[in-house]
Amino acid sequence: MNKPDHSNLLAVEGSRRLPRTVIILGLVSFFNDFASDIVVPLIPILLATVLAAGPIALGLIEGAADALASFLKLWAGRHSDVMNSRRKGLALSGYALSNLARPLLGLAGSWVTVLLLRSIDRIGKGLRSAPRDAMVADATPLTIRGYAFGFHRALDNAGAVAGSLVAAAILAWSDLSLSEVILWSAVPGFVAVILLGAGIKEEKNDSAQSAEIRLTLPPLRWSALSIPMQHYLWVLVLFTFARASETFILLFGHQLGIDVVELLLIWAALNFAKAATSTQGGQLADHFGRGALIMIGWSALAASFLALSQVTSSSGLWIVSIFYGLLTGMSEGAERALVSDYAEPEERGTAFGWYHLVSGFAAIPAGLLFGVVWHFFSAAAAFLFASLLATMTILLLRIWAWPVRNLNNNSDE
C-alpha cells in the first residue's frame, strides 16, 4: 500500500503562513498605534477642557490633518514604485516624523497649535501609509492577501487598545496631567521606529531597472485607473462625508458627562472589538469576496451612527461602540485587499496612493460639515445625518460600483 502524498497539503498550509515582513509591519503598527492612542482619544478632551474649543475646531483639525496626509500618500506611493519598489525609507521617515511631533501635543497652548502638530503627525502618516500597504501586498500571495491586511489591521487596533488602556490607568492611578501623559507617548513610538529600521531589509536598488519602471508606469492621472476602480473610489469619496472621525464619539461621551477614564475605556473597547474581528474578516474576504465584507462594514457604520443619535447614557454608548467595532473591523482588511487586486505589482504603491488620496480628499469639508451640524443643531442631528448619507453610499456601491465584486471574484479563481 502506497503512503499518502502530503506534499500538496503541506504546500497549501505553507501558503497560508504570513510572511515575516507582514508580521514585522504588524508589530510596527501595534507600537505606533500604542503611542498614537495614548494621545488621540485625549485630543477632544484637551480641546473641550484645557483649550476651550468645540466640535467645529475638532472637525477642522481632524479634517485638515487627514486631507493633508492623503495628498502625500499619493506622492509617496508613486515614489515607492518609481524607486523600484524600495518602500522602507519612506515608511521609516513617516513613522519617525509622526512620533517626533505627536508627543509635543502635550505642550500645546491653543487649538491652532494642536492643528499644526496634528497636521505634522498626519504628514508622517501620509509618507508611510501607501508604501507600507504596498510592502504588505508585495510580500503576500494573492490567495491570503485579505488575511494579511486583516492581520495588520488587527495588530493596529490592538495597539490602540493598549494605548488607551495605559492612558486610562495612568490618569486613574497617578498624578500625571493630560499633557504629561501625552508626552510619555514618545516611548512606544520610538520602539515602532526602531523595529521597522532593524527588522526589515530591502534589496539594493538597481538604478537601471528603476529608470525602466519609471518609463513603463502609466501616467499619474485619474483616467489611467480602471473604470470599476474609478467607480469604487468615487463612492469612497462620498462615504468619507459619512465616516466622521471616531473622536467625535468621545466628544459625544464627554457631552453626556462621562469622565475621561471611562471614555478611554470605551475607546479601548471599540478598538478591541475591531482587533477581534479584523483577521477573521480578512480571511472571509479571501473566501467570499472583498465587496461583501465592505458592505457589512459600511452598513455597520450607518446603523451605529443611527443608534448614536438616540443614545442618552454611558451604557448606550458602550453598547453602540462595541457593535460598531465588531462589524467595521471585519471590513478593514477587505478595503485594502481590494485595492491590491486592481494593481499590477510594479504600481501597487501608486494604487494605494490613490486609495488614500480619495479617502481623505473630502476630509476637511466632511469634518467641518459634521462639526457645523453638531454646533448649530445637536450631536444627535450630526450622527443622524451621517447615518443617512452612509445608507445612500451603500446603495450607490451596490447599484453603480458593484463591478468591483466581479473583478475580485475573478482574481480569486
Interatomic CA distance for residues 411 and 335, integer angstroms: 15
194-249 tens-digit pLDDT = 998 888 876 655 544 444 444 455 566 676 666 777 777 788 778 877 776 677 88
The C-alpha cell of 293 is what? 465584507
Residue 347 confidence (pLDDT): 62
Q: Which amino acid is at 250?
A: L
Q: How confident is the model at residue 408 (pLDDT cuts 50, 70, 90)?
A: very low
pLDDT of 20 strictly over 90: no
Is there a contact between 146 and 333 (Cβ–Cβ < 8 Å)?
A: yes
Interatomic CA distance for residues 210 and 178, integer angstroms: 47
Interatomic CA distance for residues 145 and 391, integer angstroms: 28
Q: Is the pTM of this model over 0.75?
A: no
Task: Out of 21-35, 300-314, 363-377, give the one with best mean pLDDT.
Answer: 21-35
343-354 tens-digit pLDDT = 666 566 666 777
Interatomic CA distance for residues 59 and 369, integer angstroms: 8
The domain ranges of the chain are: 17-200+207-412
Residue 134 confidence (pLDDT): 81
Write out the H or E segment, with its range, that includes residue 272. Answer: helix 260-288
Residue 60 confidence (pLDDT): 66
Tell how far CA 161 is from the center of its chain: 14
Residue 209 confidence (pLDDT): 45
Residue 31 confidence (pLDDT): 94
Residue 216 confidence (pLDDT): 53
CB contact set of 73 (below 8 Å; sequence gap of 6+): 125, 126, 129, 130, 352, 353, 356, 357, 360
Is there a contact between 101 and 35 (Cβ–Cβ < 8 Å)?
A: no
Is there a contact between 124 and 95 (Cβ–Cβ < 8 Å)?
A: yes
Burial class (CB in 10 A: 0-12, 13-18, 19+), 190: middle
CB atoms within 10 A of CB 99: 24
DSSP state of 85: T
Residue 71 confidence (pLDDT): 73
- Tell me which residue of 266, 293, 268 sits closest to 278, measured CA to CA: 293
Q: How many residues does the chain have?
A: 413
CB contact set of 224 (below 8 Å; sequence gap of 6+): 218
Is there a contact between 102 and 36 (Cβ–Cβ < 8 Å)?
A: yes
Is there a contact between 128 and 73 (Cβ–Cβ < 8 Å)?
A: no
Average pLDDT for 117-141: 83
CB contact set of 191 (below 8 Å; sequence gap of 6+): 31
pLDDT of 158 strictly over 80: yes
Interatomic CA distance for residues 330 and 349, integer angstroms: 24
Sign of the dihedral through C-alpha 229, 230, 233, 234: negative
Give me the helices (H) in 83-177, please. 88-101, 111-139, 145-173
Q: Which amino acid is at 376?
A: F
CB atoms within 10 A of CB 75: 18
**HEC profile of 307-370:** HHCCCCCHHHHHHHHHHHHHHHHHHHHHHHHHHHHHCCHHHHHHHHHHHHHHHHHCHHHHHHHH
Long-range contacts at 193-197 (CB < 8 A, ≥ 24 apart): 193/92, 193/95, 193/96, 193/99, 195/24, 195/27, 195/28, 195/31, 196/24, 196/25, 196/28, 196/88, 196/91, 196/92, 196/95, 197/92
17-200+207-412 homologous superfamily: MFS general substrate transporter like domains (1.20.1250.20)
Residue 193 confidence (pLDDT): 92
Residue 51 confidence (pLDDT): 60
CB contact set of 216 (below 8 Å; sequence gap of 6+): 346
